[in-house]
Structure 1
Amino acid sequence: MSRADFHSQHLACAREEAQRLFARKAQLQRAWLGWVASQIYALRPAEYASMVRRELQILQENSET
């Protein structure tokens, strides 16, 4: 499977996962960063974890503006 195919097949799930993780930020406050890092670390395959990380970064950037 090509990288583009993998990306297109898993983008919606990666966005949902990022939203789920981001939603816990207010609840966990200072503990969120360590918690979210452990959640992303557990995701497989690594390409999917990277997608979730990028989507989470987009959510973070959008919340700051």
Structure 2
Amino acid sequence: MSRAEFHEQHLADAQAEALRLFEQKAVLQGAWLGWVASQIYTLRPAEYASMVRRELARLQETSEN
């Protein structure tokens, strides 16, 4: 499977996972950063974890603007 195919196949899941993680920010507050890092660390494969990280960064950037 090519990188583009992997991305296309898993994008919706990565976006949903990033949103789930981001929604915990208000709940966990100061403990969120360590918690979210540990959650991302468990995601496999690494390409999927990277997709979730990118989506999470996009959500954070959107919320700050």
TM-score by length of 1: 1.00
Q: CA RMSD in A?
A: 0.2
Q: Percent of pairs identical after alignment?
A: 77
Name the count of aligned residue pairs: 65
Q: Stretches of 4+ moved more than 6 A in 1?
A: none
Aligned twin of 2:61: 61
TM-score by length of 2: 1.00
Work out the CA distance in 2 between the residues paired with 1:25 and 1:52.
15
For 1:10-38, what per-residue CA distance to the aligned partner results, in whole angstroms no more than 9, with x for missing partners?
00000000000000000000000000000
